[in-house]
Every structure is written in structure tokens, then in C-alpha cells.
Amino acid sequence: MRILFSIGLLLVLLTSCGGNSPKKKQKELSVDQLYKKYPDSVPILIKHGNLMLERYDYEKALQDGAKAYRMQESNIEARFLYANALNNRANRTASDVMSAQHHFKYVVKKQPKNTQALVALATTYAQQGDNEKAFYYINEALRIDKKYRDAYILKGSIYLSMDNRKLAKSSYQTAVEQDPEFFAAYIKLGLIYQEEGDPLCIQYFITATQIRPNNIEAYYNLAYAYQQFDKIPEAQQTYREMLKKDPTFTPPLFQLGWIKQFKQNDIDSAIYFYNETLQKEPRYVEAWHNLGLAFETKGEKYQAIQYYRKALKYNPEFSISEDAIKRLSK
């Protein structure tokens, strides 16, 4: 079923004043502005809900989807939005998955060639551990569109859950071949190769940072990969670039301290970076512990114990600090 009014048509209807006299062109409203102005418009609710999905704000998307679905139960797009948000929110329950599955089945019945709905339905089966049915619906989507990116992504995720890394990598690689700008697939491929100890992960993380140059997590993955594979100057430069982009993000400071301490044996510089880390995040347990190690290296055992105790204050189960205190207290 198609939406009765497109957003563009609705804008025309809302801004039309009648008559043939020249009118000053009105500025087109954004989706957010339309949403505030016309909160009971089903087409706008759906448009706004899908925008919330793109922003990963699943709770707001769920509110929009639920409202649109209540207002027009026969509206396929409203039902699909509601089910999609329900199935993607972080705190979803088994009941949520079953409910979403019910709605996706309805959509697929009404629109058997809807590849998005087929893959969404497959996702619910994957979440229930029924990979056979998940693959069935994935393959149904690929029979309709053999280049459908999201089908390959779900395949990769299922294979990864089965610990079949070879097929997972193949599926994710096929996904980026269909969509060379697909950021998430590069991150997934990078993480798989990184866990396998393969420096090829660096190239995938580089591509991810090129696609989203303001994504701090992508830069952190890249910097840590450089560090892991002993490309220390590159790691340090990337961590510094991250701090320029987001000075509040503390892991780069900690890692710069770690490099100074364990790769360059520059204890004083390491202490500086750990202190900078703790000024911004006093609960950074690993920074307290590494300060203890740094002062232990300098032969200042009493000061080292104080830092180990700080680590235990914020995490009483941080056993390596407890072991260090026992070692130094003998």
C-alpha cells in the first residue's frame, strides 16, 4: 500500500494559498520541522521515524511507528517502521522479536518482493537462532535482487555467529562490492582481520575513516591496529588527530601513555599522559594501574601502592592491582 500523500505533495498542499498572483517562494521545511508542526500526519510520522532509524534513535523511531500504526493499521509503511524499530532497539525482548516477526510476515505476504522486509524477517529468525529460516529469507531477497547489500551483511553476521570467519569475510566483502561507501562493512572486516592477527585490517580501517572522517571510533580502531602491529609513529599520529577532533575522548591519551611506557620506555611522559587521562576521566581504572606500574619502575613503591589502591577503589575486582599490592607489601 502506498502512502496517500508524499512529503513533497503535502508541502505543496500546506503552502498553497490559491489564486494566480505571484507569491514569494516559501522556504521548504525540514522533516523535523514538519514533525513538530503536523504531529498527527501519518506520512510525516513515517518519514520522521525512518529518519530516527538512520540516526540510530530506535526509541523515538518506535514512538513514531507505534503512533502511525495505531492511526492507520492498514498502512504497510507504518507497520514496517513499527516492527523495524521494535526489533532494533537495544533492550528488545524475545516478545518484541516475535511481535516484529509477525509484522514482517504480514508485510512480506502483502509485498512478496519487498527485499527490505524479507531481510528484516530473516533477522528475527537469526535472533531466535533459527539460521535455516534466516538463510531461506535472505536467499529469497537475493533471488529478487542479487546485489542487495543488506542481505550479504546479515549473511556475514550469521556466519560470524557460527564462527565461520571465511564465509563471514566473503559476505562482508560482497557487501562492500555492492556499496563501496558502506562504512559498517569495512569496520566489520577490519575487526575480523584484526582478531586474526592480520595487518590487512589496517586498510579496512583506513577506508572507514575516509568514508566517515569525523567518526572517532573508526579512528580509534585504526590507531589501535597501528599500535597492535607495531606501527608506532602512525599510531601516535592517529591518536593525536583524534584528540584534535574530540579533546574529551580519553582513550587516545591513555594509549599514548601506554606507548610511552611500554614501547619507548619514557616513563615520565607516560605519567604525564596518564595524569591527563585521569583529569578528564577519574574512573579510568587502567590509567591508575599503569601509573602504579610507572612508579614501581621508578622504585617508588609507596607511591605505586597508592595508585594501585586507586584502581581498586573504582573497580574492587581489578585483580592485577590487588596482586601488585600484595607483591609490593611483602
68 band by pLDDT with thresholds 50, 70 and 90: very high
In this predicted model, what pLDDT tens digit does every residue of 170-202 receive, in sequence order? 999 999 999 999 999 999 999 999 999 999 999
Averaged confidence pLDDT in the chain: 91
- pLDDT more than 70, % of the chain: 92
pLDDT at 232 over 60: yes
So what's the pLDDT on residue 90? 86
Phi, psi of 84 (to 5 degrees): -65, -45
pLDDT at 133 over 60: yes
Q: How far apart are CA 87 and CA 84, in angstroms?
A: 5
Q: How far apart are CA 293 and CA 169, in angstroms?
A: 39
In this predicted model, what pLDDT tens digit does every residue of 302-330 receive, in sequence order? 999 999 999 999 999 999 999 999 999 88
Mean pLDDT of 111-115: 97
pLDDT at 43 over 50: yes
pLDDT at 163 over 50: yes
Comparison of pLDDT for 190 and 39, the residue scoring more: 190
pLDDT at 42 over 50: yes
In this predicted model, what pLDDT tens digit does every residue of 254-289 receive, in sequence order? 999 999 999 999 999 999 999 999 999 999 999 999
In this predicted model, what pLDDT tens digit does every residue of 234-259 receive, in sequence order? 999 999 999 999 999 999 999 999 99
25 band by pLDDT with thresholds 50, 70 and 90: low
So what's the pLDDT on residue 35? 87
Comparison of pLDDT for 27 and 203, the residue scoring more: 203
pLDDT at 96 over 70: yes
So what's the pLDDT on residue 26? 59
So what's the pLDDT on residue 156? 96
Grid cell of 293 as nine digits = 606500574
Mean pLDDT of 292-305: 96
Grid cell of 272 as nine digits = 604525564
So what's the pLDDT on residue 34? 87
So what's the pLDDT on residue 8? 39
